[in-house]
Amino acid sequence: MSQSKWVPLEASPEVFNDWSRALGLPNSPLSFQDLFSLDDEFLAFVPQPVKAVLLLFPSRGELAAAREKEERDGEGKWDGKDVWWIKQTIPNACGSIGLLHALLNLPEGALTPGSQLLKFKAATEALGPLERAKLLDEADFFESAHTAAAQAGQSAVPEDLDVDTHFIAFVQAPNAKGELRVVELDGGREGPFDRGPSKDLLRDVAKIVQDKYIARAAGDINFNMIVLAGEEE
């Protein structure tokens, strides 16, 4: 287990873009953008393609209990192989873990050749999730990028670093049968999580968030969503 403890990242597209550009996401054609509504009419205006959706949610109460039950029951265990996933061992690093899950599952050619992100992916491709986490903890450039991004946010850096909100990522990938699925990538789980069939990643995730997260949050409104999508016009 890592002894490092990082400052939580603010749920801000500007922060996420700064973090990602510095490490290998080109200036175009993709960028992180706020998702302000889950209404279908609003979703229609989100630039395409949508390659990943990041969710910040309150990790407490009924919602936390429901997620723990999913783990105990073994629901949604991922059976595909075409997903890059890392176990989170660094406290408060869930924002950076979410970014890694979004970026390192992009199609080939989407990241800058020779970038830190691609080097890290290549170095970890044959490693297990905990071995990847150890390498992440030892990689100074990731902690530096995380710290710089956290300090660049609009919110004051909290004195108490123990938080009860959590970042996860959703991507689209084929399962063992070749069927496209929504895959939830959370470093706090025991592995990638199959959230069901996917035809339209953004709309599929919107429904999952409404049914599996917001509905279980007992009125808690501490949610934020960011998409990695085509650049805004």
CATH superfamily of 13-230: Peptidase C12, ubiquitin carboxyl-terminal hydrolase (3.40.532.10)
Out of 50, 86, 94, 206, the active site residue is 94
Q: Which two tokens stand for residue 64?
A: 């936390």
Query: What's the pLDDT at 146?
Result: 72
Domain borders along the chain are 13-230
CA dihedral (227, 228, 230, 233) positive or negative: positive
Catalytic: 146? no
Catalytic: 94? yes
145-190 residue pLDDT tens:
877 777 776 544 444 444 678 999 999 999 999 999 999 999 999 9
136's enclosing H/E stretch is: helix 129-138
Residues whose CB falls within 8 Å of the CB of residue 104, separated by 6 or more in sequence, listed in order: 84, 117, 120, 121
71-83 residue pLDDT tens:
888 778 898 888 9
Query: What's the pLDDT at 155?
Result: 45
Measured CA to CA, the distance from residue 154 to residue 171 in angstroms comes to 27
Q: Is the pTM of this model over 0.75?
A: yes
Site of tokens 């959230």: 195
DSSP conformation class of 108: T
* Cα 208 to chain centroid, rounded: 15
What's the distance, Cα to Cα, between the start and end of the chain in Å? Answer: 44
Measured CA to CA, the distance from residue 194 to residue 179 in angstroms comes to 11
* Cα 55 to chain centroid, rounded: 7
Measured CA to CA, the distance from residue 215 to residue 212 in angstroms comes to 6
Out of 166, 181, 189, 195, the active site residue is 166
60-72 residue pLDDT tens:
889 999 999 988 8
| Exposure letters 150-184 (e unless 16+ CB within 10 A, then b) | beebeeeeeeeeeeebbbbbbbbbebeeeeebbbb
